[in-house]
A = this chain, B = another copy of it.
Amino acid sequence: MLSSTAEYALKAVLYLANHAEEQPVRVGDVAEALGIPRNYLSKILHELARDGVLSSSRGKHGGFQLAHPPEELSLLTVVQRFDRIAEERSCLLGRPQCSDRHACAAHWRWKAVSEQVSTFFRETTVADLMTGTAIAA
């Protein structure tokens, strides 16, 4: 569903959210804890920082942390830079211009499902996925 890059981003953000006490957290620690290639993750976290999802500090005692409370951070925000999640380009058959007005063969049936996916990413927050958080259906 997600590219491995987006998956790394999401896992790392979740890790930072769950380690809010020990902020900021070093790339190396996150990479080791999650089994993600270090320099690759470094680049990903840097991009998240440029997007305003994380804040970073260099030098001794530097590292990364969430820039905003996890309740205010949707999964879509974390992931959208890396994957086009069911936003706009949601045509199952890859048509550039597939819409209600110009529907492909699969449009109406797929739209219902596709919107559920979008909604999940748009409305689920990092706080919803933090360990120790009550999970309600």
Contacts and interface: CB of A to CB of B under 8 A. Distances in A.
Interface of A: 1-2, 4, 7, 10-11, 14, 86, 90, 92-94, 105-106, 108-110, 112-114, 116-117, 120, 124, 128-131, 135, 137
A110 B120 CA distance: 8
Given A7-B94, A109-B128, 4 more contacts: A105-B130, A108-B135, A108-B137, A109-B129
A7 B93 contact: yes
Q: How many copies does the complex hold?
A: 2
Q: In this complex, which of A86, A108, A109, A131 has the most chain B Cβ atoms within 10 angstroms of its Cβ?
A: A109
Q: In this complex, which of A90, A112, A116 has the most chain B Cβ atoms within 10 angstroms of its Cβ?
A: A116
Given A2-B92, A11-B93, A92-B1, A129 B113 contact: no
A24 to B, nearest CB: 21
A10 B130 CA distance: 38
A112 B131 contact: no
Contact of A116 (B10, B116, B128): B116
Contacts of A94: 2, 4, 7, 11
